[in-house]
Amino acid sequence: MKEWEAAYIAGIIDGEGSITLTRIHRNEYRRPCISISSTDKELLSYIQSITGGNIVNKKNYSPEKHKDSFVLTIKKKKDVFNTLEHIVHFLRVPQKRKRAAWILNKYDSVTPRNGKYNETSIRRKIEFEDYFFSI
């Protein structure tokens, strides 16, 4: 990712996106996720070509009033971390910049590679999530 692309994507995320922790399955701990909503599918396709992720159509309940909208969701750890590493310094919304930095600095230390948690690691993971959502 070029520097100007990172700055551009950071601006889009500041305005239309979110950096959060989400569950893919009900019985697992949260993992980092970046999502961007837009009515401009071409814009999301361009960002997807740089960052990865999937674009889905959102249900339009009032087509006579609203345009169709789409969401680009980046869930793969490698893609999320690569994107955050490139954009974190360009983010201008303090909450999003702090959340990105928190994920980059702490997520790996509270997430065992094999996915097996003991009592201590569960407590650390929950504390990580609690602090993240307090930002």
Tell me what pLDDT residue 121 has. 87
Q: Which helix H or strand E contains 33, and what residues bound it?
A: strand 31-38
Q: Within a 10 A sphere around the Cβ of 84, how many other Cβ atoms?
A: 23
CA–CA separation, 68 vs 60, rounded Å?
6
Contact yes or no for 54/73 (Cβ under 8 A): yes
Tell me what pLDDT residue 65 has. 75
Tell me what pLDDT residue 32 has. 96
Contact yes or no for 4/10 (Cβ under 8 A): no
Tell me what pLDDT residue 24 has. 81
Q: What is the mean pLDDT of each run of 10 residues along the chain (135 residues)?
A: 95 96 86 94 95 86 78 95 97 96 94 82 91 93
- Give me 73's structure tokens: 């969701």
Contact yes or no for 56/36 (Cβ under 8 A): no
Tell me what pLDDT residue 107 has. 94
Structure-token match 């948690």, residue found: 117
Tell me what pLDDT residue 60 has. 67
* Beta-bridge partners for 22: 31
